[in-house]
Structure 1
């Protein structure tokens, strides 16, 4: 059986490398904005798309 502390440490190290590194943080923020914009546009079109029809 795997050690839960070893896998938890790997996850913590990965998380910290993504947050604390400037280059990774910049890329992750661009990705989060793109996903948020995409999800928001789907939400708006599904709920208010009939109001936008001609």
Structure 2
């Protein structure tokens, strides 16, 4: 295979290797879990302040 199909296949293989290394490695999963939790709290606080911010304001 040569050309764009080979390039797409190679890129897809690299992406899947990266995702599997992030999901199934214990050390990487622990870091990613902390990061996802922090981003969730951040996004949740923004949504909370947008919906209930006028009631919280002093």
- TM-score interval, normalised by the smaller of the two chains: over 0.9
The count of aligned residue pairs is 54
The unaligned stretches of length 5 or more in structure 2 are none
Q: How far apart, in 2, do the equivalents of 1:31 and 1:9 lie?
A: 25
3-state secondary structure, aligned to 1:13 = helix
Q: How far apart, in 1, do the equivalents of 2:19 and 2:26 lie?
A: 13
Pairing 1:26–2:30 present: yes
Q: How far apart, in 2, do the equivalents of 1:16 and 1:7 lie?
A: 14
Pairing 1:13–2:17 present: yes
Which protein shows a greater Rg? 2
TM (normalized to structure 2)? 0.86
TM (normalized to structure 1)? 0.92
The unaligned stretches of length 5 or more in structure 1 are none
Q: How far apart, in 2, do the equivalents of 1:53 and 1:8 lie?
A: 49
